[in-house]
Amino acid sequence: MNMAIINLEAVTNQIKTVYDPEIPVDVYELGLIYDVQILDAGKVKVVMTLTAPACPAAEQIPREIKEKVSTVPGVTEVEIELTFDPPWDKDMMSEEAKLELGML
């Protein structure tokens, strides 16, 4: 069986092209991505959260991540798992994101 190797960095780079529509920072740097798993047979699982359960982009962001990750060579299926445990807070943001938002 010839299975393509999925490049985790390529998956991460695609996730970094998705932005929260209300904040000029990508979802990865915001700390919304808790885990990215490369599973067998071309499947990628992304465990993520949102800034708030009632986030206006609650459907848009996961859908956009799924679309972008699907374009990575070797990826045949993308599963998005939304969780609010632990709840997101601003301490989860990268230094880059905090700088971008004037929080440093």
User: How many angstroms separate the Cα of 63 from the Cα of each of 54, 90, 97, 99, 103?
Assistant: 16, 23, 22, 27, 29
Residues 6+ apart with CB under 8 A from 40: 3
Query: What is residue 22's predicted lDDT score, i.e. its pLDDT?
Result: 82
**Distance from C-alpha of 74 to C-alpha of 66, rounded to nearest angstrom:** 14
Quick check: is 5 in a domain? no
- pTM for this one? 0.90
Domain that holds residue 39: 12-86
Quick check: is 101 in a domain? no
Is the pLDDT assigned to residue 24 strictly greater than 90? no
Quick check: is 99 in a domain? no
Judge contact between 25 and 101, C-beta under 8 A. Answer: yes
Quick check: is 62 in a domain? yes
Quick check: is 61 in a domain? yes
- Domains of the chain: total: 1
User: Could you tell me the CATH number of the domain that includes residue 29?
Assistant: 3.30.300.130
Quick check: is 24 in a domain? yes
